[in-house]
Amino acid sequence: MQVPHINEYVYSLIQHIIWVHLPPAFQLGPRKKEPDAGIRPILSRLPSVVLEVGDSESLTQLKIDAKLWLEHMPEV
């Protein structure tokens, strides 16, 4: 019996517990914001974790984005 690579096993397990697909955008106060990625429980419509990648944004803009997520979606 071949043992699956640990990352494949963990990813498979995670897919059964959480759903990693999110709606295209969330209304965060006056702005609509789309995370680069995120995680939400299967039974929830809101994410518990959002991921913003900074390769196309400045550190200042990432901080602004983080503040928007935390102020307007406290579940994150």
Please report, for the chain, the start and end positions of each structural domain, with discontinuous segments joined by +: 6-72
Is residue 10 over pLDDT 80?
no
**Higher confidence at residue 15 or residue 54?**
54
Is residue 68 over pLDDT 80?
yes
- Full-model pTM: 0.64
CA–CA distances in Å: residue 10 to residues 41, 43, 52: 16, 20, 22
For residue 4, give the DSSP letter. Answer: P
End-to-end CA distance of the chain: 40
Res. 1 pLDDT band, cuts 50 70 90: very low
Would you state the pLDDT for residue 4?
Answer: 53
CA-wise closest residue to 32 among 72, 60, 61: 72
Can you tell me which residue has the tokens 């299967």?
Answer: 42
Would you state the pLDDT for residue 5?
Answer: 59
